[in-house]
């Protein structure tokens, strides 16, 4: 099985960050969006990002940030990535990249095959794409709703552009998500929580346990299929 990245998003405590790093998370994410139960202010994010100290890639998740906020992220927090989870246009993504020098991941909401057309608009602009479920009716959150879309619609997608898959992924379905969608990375948030915004160390370990079982099972599975 080819290697893939694992991002644990919406972290807010040293204990849950330590668990994610211990189990091999490639990316750790911190949310700055006032409507989210995972929201952190700039100062809190700066402290947590500093504590990671190169052990994983750090990501700030934000929604339609203005220029002032983007500058604060770049100068006060200094993450490796900005994840744009709003309605940012390709032009806005390019401008943020140019002004900060940071890598940018653009989240795209997916519910049906027609939504995949947006991918082409951001290729060569964003450093990476994140395919996430469209928010359900009544939700004010563009992500972290714990809802999965039908991953089978990604079966015909060109696997060359590196994208992360998100939305409703947890220890029980992450193996199916990887086998069906074949993403280059998995992003999980609500799937490792005991309550909205409350990351659970035990669930983080269970999530990585499922990934470990997949890694061990894949060679045998391929042998059986040959």
User: Residue 133's domain is classified under what CATH number?
Assistant: 3.20.20.70
According to the model, what pLDDT value does residue 85 have?
Answer: 95
Strands 193-195 and 103-110 come out as unpaired
According to the model, what pLDDT value does residue 1 have?
Answer: 44
* Residues with Cβ within 8 Å of residue 216, at least 6 apart in sequence: none
According to the model, what pLDDT value does residue 87 have?
Answer: 95
Q: Higher-confidence residue: 136 or 110?
A: 110
According to the model, what pLDDT value does residue 225 have?
Answer: 52
Task: Indicate whether 104 pLDDT > 50.
Answer: yes
According to the model, what pLDDT value does residue 216 have?
Answer: 83
* Total domains, the chain: 1
Whole-angstrom Cα distance, residue 46 to residue 186?
24
pLDDT tens digits for 159-185? 667 899 999 999 999 999 999 999 999
Whole-angstrom Cα distance, residue 165 to residue 18?
23
| 82 DSSP β-pair partners | 60, 104
Tokens standing for residue 59: 């990501």
pLDDT tens digits for 27-81? 999 999 999 999 999 999 999 999 998 899 999 999 999 999 999 999 999 999 9
Tokens standing for residue 22: 């211990």
Tokens standing for residue 23: 């189990």
Whole-angstrom Cα distance, residue 164 to residue 181?
10
Four-CA torsion 122, 125, 126, 129, nearest 10 degrees: 30
If you average pLDDT over residues 180-191, what whole number do you get? 94
Q: Higher-confidence residue: 217 or 30?
A: 30
From the centroid of its chain, how far is CA 30? 10
According to the model, what pLDDT value does residue 119 have?
Answer: 94
* Domain encompassing residue 72: 5-225
Helices (H) and strands (E) in the chain, counts: 7, 10
pLDDT tens digits for 121-164? 999 999 999 999 887 565 655 655 577 899 999 987 876 678 99
According to the model, what pLDDT value does residue 143 have?
Answer: 55
Helix axes 174-181, 201-225, angle to 10 degrees: 50
């Amino acid at each position: 099985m080819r290697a893939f990245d694992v991002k644990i998003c919406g972290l807010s405590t040293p204990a849950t960050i330590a668990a994610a790093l211990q189990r091999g998370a490639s990316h750790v994410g911190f949310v700055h969006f006032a409507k989210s139960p995972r929201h952190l202010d700039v100062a809190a994010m700066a402290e947590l990002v500093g504590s990671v100290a190169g052990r994983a890639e750090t990501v700030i998740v934000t929604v339609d940030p203005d220029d002032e906020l983007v500058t604060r992220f770049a100068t006060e927090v200094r993450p490796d990535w900005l994840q744009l989870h709003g309605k940012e246009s390709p032009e806005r993504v390019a401008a943020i990249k140019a002004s900060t020098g940071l890598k940018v991941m653009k989240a795209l909401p997916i519910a049906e095959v027609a939504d995949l057309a947006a991918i082409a608009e951001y290729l060569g602009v964003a450093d990476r794409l994140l395919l996430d479920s469209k928010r359900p009716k009544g939700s004010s959150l563009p992500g972290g709703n714990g809802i999965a879309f039908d991953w089978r619609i990604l079966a015909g997608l060109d696997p060359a552009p590196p994208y992360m898959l998100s939305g409703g992924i947890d220890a029980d379905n992450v193996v199916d998500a990887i086998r069906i969608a074949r993403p280059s990375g998995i992003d999980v948030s609500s799937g490792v929580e005991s309550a909205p915004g409350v990351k659970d160390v035990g669930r983080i370990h269970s999530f990585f346990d499922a990934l470990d079982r997949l890694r061990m099972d894949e060679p045998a599975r391929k042998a059986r299929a040959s």
